Amino acid sequence: MKSSSSSKSNDRAVRFAEPEDVPLLLQFIRGLAEYEDLTDQFTATPEGLKRHLFQEKRAEAVIGEYRGEPAGFALFFHTFSTFLGKPGIYIEDLFVKSEMRGRGIGKALLEFIAKLAAERNCGRLEWACLNWNEPSIRFYTRRGAVPLSEWTVYRVTGEHLKTLAENSLL
């Protein structure tokens, strides 16, 4: 259920990504991988994004624009809190091109998703931020976000994921 299809204010606009935006999304994802020095982990393909975002609808993406030019993106999906008994939204990535930073694009993207979360009756909005990314940490805390230092994120990928799945007792 998508509420507003876009939001526009002054020079900034946010809109839902469409299938024809896949090449642009890949550019943004590559830019994020470069910023985070994680290009060795960048394996996304146009086919995979198109299938997962627009056919299977496993996640959603929004594009932030500045004066009509694509400036950044955010990719997010729904989670569920058993304690709250409500859905939530998890922002997997939020990225603004370096030359577009400081123009309110990141804020517009975050606010757009927060508005969606409220409209969709979500109990929380969450994301992760690399510990070294001080500019982003300051950006998020200025908007009321608090780090959850009592939680540690765990991840299983690649061969370990395959082994874990193959060792299933079911």
What value does the mean pLDDT take over residues 28-40? 96
Half-sphere exposure of 169 (CA within 13 A, CB side): 0
pLDDT at 5: 61
Burial of 20 (0-12, 13-18, 19+ CB in 10 A): exposed
Structure confidence by residue, pLDDT tens digits, 71-114: 999 999 999 999 999 999 999 999 999 999 999 999 999 999 99
The answer as to whether 54 is a domain residue is yes
| For residue 27, pLDDT beyond 90 | yes
Per cent of the chain over pLDDT 90 is 85
Q: Please state, rounded to an integer, the average pLDDT across all residues of the chain.
A: 93
**CATH number of the domain where residue 16 is located:** 3.40.630.30
The answer as to whether 142 is a domain residue is yes
Structure confidence by residue, pLDDT tens digits, 122-150: 999 999 999 999 999 999 999 999 999 89
Q: State how many domains the chain has.
A: 1
Half-sphere exposure of 37 (CA within 13 A, CB side): 3
- Is residue 61 within 8 A of residue 53, CB to CB? The reply is yes
The answer as to whether 24 is a domain residue is yes
The strand pair at 86-96 and 69-81 is best described as: antiparallel
Residues belonging to the active site: 140
The answer as to whether 31 is a domain residue is yes
pTM of full prediction above 0.85: yes
The answer as to whether 14 is a domain residue is yes
Range of the domain at 153: 6-166
The answer as to whether 1 is a domain residue is no
Q: Helix, strand, coil: what percent of the chain each, to 5?
A: 40, 25, 35
The answer as to whether 66 is a domain residue is yes
